[in-house]
């Protein structure tokens, strides 16, 4: 009798999920040159093999496989029950171009479950959920949107605790300690510049570089990203941060509404540099041929989380957990990276070229002070124009 450890490719017919899976097994050679296989995976119950001689080489043929459905990453906990629910409802602020690929990827991964999507900005998502609750209607299963929305729903006890094992692949910046939310992607704030107009040492390396006199009247500022104010107060402290913001306002920045619009105007040469623009907005405009890039600053980057959560009264609780887990799985997070966004999961490399260790995340409870920061932004930069 001999023992050896091998890796065998096992192909099977469709069960709950079409499968092609590598399983580590221990072979025990019997007297009749057949093999008993003891599996390290519980997903396969029995497998037999026969050794034959072919062209002078020993070949092992797998003769019979009796399997349980192969559902990776623990999702077998929900898939069978989720199939009986049939669909899942997602409210999200994902970009319009990303929602359909996300939906198709999930439905391909889990045949028999249809994703219904309502897409809008964070405030409208929250408004819709609260209006439905007031009317006694529970329609949404999963929410994937801006941090303040999830914080508001948590305060109203509308989120279910879902401490998926997938959360182990996320560091503490990208999840809460209790298991109510996990960040799918943070939007990373950046400084955008026109690569034809700003070169070499003129490219900002610190936020204080924007205070240089040469930029007076030539700066752009994205009005929709008023959490830029919170970032600067967090980076420099309240007193020094306010001093920085007032000096930046003295630079007479040209305020525009929208990150994509602001980056586009930088590319068109309306102003050579702009702040409070998300890096993915810049990359999207750059991919369309605009001469723009975002500055790799020496100081920390700031990001705003876009977490996923399961609703307490989800009409389709198993499908809800399956979808939330998909969003933070390796497959789901690779999809997020392919969308040009920053995946929050540690083992997925971001395509936007940022050192994740330099990223600071404002927690949802701080982001929830939106009215305060919006008012501060308006008073500093808009009402003075």
Domain range for 248 is: 187-303+371-382
Q: Percent of the chain having pLDDT more than 90?
A: 67
Confidence tier at 218 by pLDDT (50, 70, 90): very high
- What are residue 206's DSSP bridge partners? none
pLDDT in tens, 172-189: 999 999 999 999 999 999
Q: Are 47 and 77 found together in one domain?
A: no
Query: Which carries the bigger pLDDT value, residue 49 or residue 17?
Result: 49
SS3 content of the chain, % helix, strand, coil (to 5): 40, 30, 35
Q: Are 176 and 322 found together in one domain?
A: yes
- What are residue 254's DSSP bridge partners? 220
Q: What is the domain-level CATH number for residue 320?
A: 3.40.190.10
Query: Which carries the bigger pLDDT value, residue 11 or residue 168?
Result: 168
What pTM does this model have? 0.74
Nearest residue to 115 via CA among 326, 337, 344: 326
Tell me the average pLDDT across 318-345.
Answer: 96
Angle at 224 between CA 249 and CA 248, to 5 degrees: 15
Backbone angles phi, psi at 83, to 5 degrees: -65, -35
Q: How many domains does the chain have?
A: 3
Q: Are 192 and 148 found together in one domain?
A: no
pLDDT in tens, 91-117: 999 988 899 999 999 999 999 999 999
Residue 364 covered by a domain: no
pLDDT in tens, 124-160: 999 999 999 999 999 999 999 999 999 999 999 999 9
Query: Which carries the bigger pLDDT value, residue 170 or residue 20?
Result: 170
Distance CA 252, CA 99 (A): 38
> Of 28, 55, 70, which marks where a domain is finished?
70
Confidence tier at 76 by pLDDT (50, 70, 90): low
């Amino acid at each position: 009798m001999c023992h050896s450890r091998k890796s065998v490719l096992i192909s099977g017919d469709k069960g709950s999920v079409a499968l092609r899976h590598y399983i580590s097994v221990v072979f025990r050679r019997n007297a009749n040159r057949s093999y008993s296989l003891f599996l390290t995976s519980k997903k396969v119950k029995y497998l037999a093999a026969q050794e034959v001689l072919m062209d002078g080489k020993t070949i092992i043929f797998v003769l019979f496989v009796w399997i349980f459905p192969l559902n990776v990453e623990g999702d077998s906990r929900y898939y069978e029950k989720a199939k009986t629910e049939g669909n899942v409802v997602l409210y999200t602020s994902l970009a319009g171009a990303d929602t359909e690929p996300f939906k198709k990827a999930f439905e391909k991964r889990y045949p028999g479950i249809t994703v219904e999507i309502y897409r809008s900005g964070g405030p409208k998502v929250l408004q819709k959920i609260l209006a439905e609750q007031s009317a006694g209607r529970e329609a949404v299963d999963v929410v994937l949107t801006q941090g303040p929305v999830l914080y508001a729903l948590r305060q109203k006890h509308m989120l279910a605790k879902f401490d998926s094992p997938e959360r182990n692949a996320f560091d503490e910046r990208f999840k809460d300690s209790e298991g109510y939310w996990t960040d799918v992607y943070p939007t990373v704030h950046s400084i955008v510049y026109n690569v034809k107009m700003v070169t070499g040492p003129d490219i900002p390396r610190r936020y204080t570089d924007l205070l240089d006199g040469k930029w007076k009247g030539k700066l752009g500022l994205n009005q929709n990203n008023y959490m830029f104010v919170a970032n600067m107060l967090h980076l420099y402290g309240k007193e020094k941060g306010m001093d920085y913001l007032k000096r930046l306002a003295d630079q007479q920045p040209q305020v525009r509404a929208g990150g994509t619009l602001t980056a586009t105007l930088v590319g068109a040469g309306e102003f050579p540099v702009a702040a409070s623009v998300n890096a993915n907005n810049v990359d999207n405009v750059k991919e369309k041929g605009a001469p723009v890039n975002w500055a790799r600053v020496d100081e920390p980057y700031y990001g705003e989380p876009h977490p996923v959560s399961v609703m307490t009264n989800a009409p389709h609780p198993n499908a809800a957990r399956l979808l939330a887990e998909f969003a933070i799985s390796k497959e789901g997070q690779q999809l997020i990276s392919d969308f040009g966004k920053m995946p929050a999961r540690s083992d997925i490399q971001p395509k936007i070229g940022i050192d994740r260790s330099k990223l600071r995340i404002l927690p949802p409870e701080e982001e929830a002070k939106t009215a305060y920061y919006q008012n501060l932004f308006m008073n500093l930069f808009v009402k003075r124009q």
